[in-house]
Amino acid sequence: MARILVGIEPRHADNSPCGHAVKPSGKPRDPNSGCSGRTAFAVVCSEHGDVGSLHHVKAVAEPAARTHRDEHRTALATH
Ligand SMILES: [Zn+2]
Ligand SMILES: [Zn+2]
C-alpha cells in the first residue's frame, strides 16, 4: 500500500498552484515571475486530491492537513 502524503499547496486566485517565491504578504517577490499573488492554501492528499475547501491563511490550512492525516491514521488502525 502506498504511503499517503498530505501537504499544503499554495494557490493563486484562479486556483492554479503557486510555486513562486512570495513575500509574507502573499505578493510575488519577483514582479516579472508571472505570479498573480498567493491568495489561498489547499490541503492536498495523495489519495484524495484536494481536501475540503481552500484556506486563506496557512495557519488554518496546517491544522486541517493534520486533521486529515489523523483521519488516515485512524482508518488504518481499524483495519
Ligand atoms: Zn505564484
Ligand atoms: Zn486523504
Q: Each residue of 29-74: pLDDT tens digit?
A: 999 999 999 999 999 999 999 999 999 999 999 999 999 999 999 8
> Cell 499573488 maps to which residue?
37
Domain-wise residue ranges, the chain: 6-77
Tell me the CA–centroid distance for residue 73 and ligand 1, in Å: 32
- 44 strand-pairing partners: 7, 50
Tell me the CA–centroid distance for residue 6 and ligand 2, in Å: 7
Q: Residue 7: name the closest of 70, 72, 65, 75 by CA.
A: 65
Region 12-31: mean pLDDT is 94
- Number of the ligand closest to the Cα of 68: 2
* Cell digits of residue 43: 490541503
Q: Global pTM?
A: 0.84
- Residue 45 CA to residue 61 CA, distance in Å, equals 13
pLDDT at 79 exceeding the cut of 60: no
- Residue 7 CA to residue 9 CA, distance in Å, equals 7
- Number of the ligand closest to the Cα of 50: 2
Tell me the CA–centroid distance for residue 50 and ligand 2, in Å: 9
The sign of the dihedral angle between the CA atoms of 25, 29, 30, 33 is negative
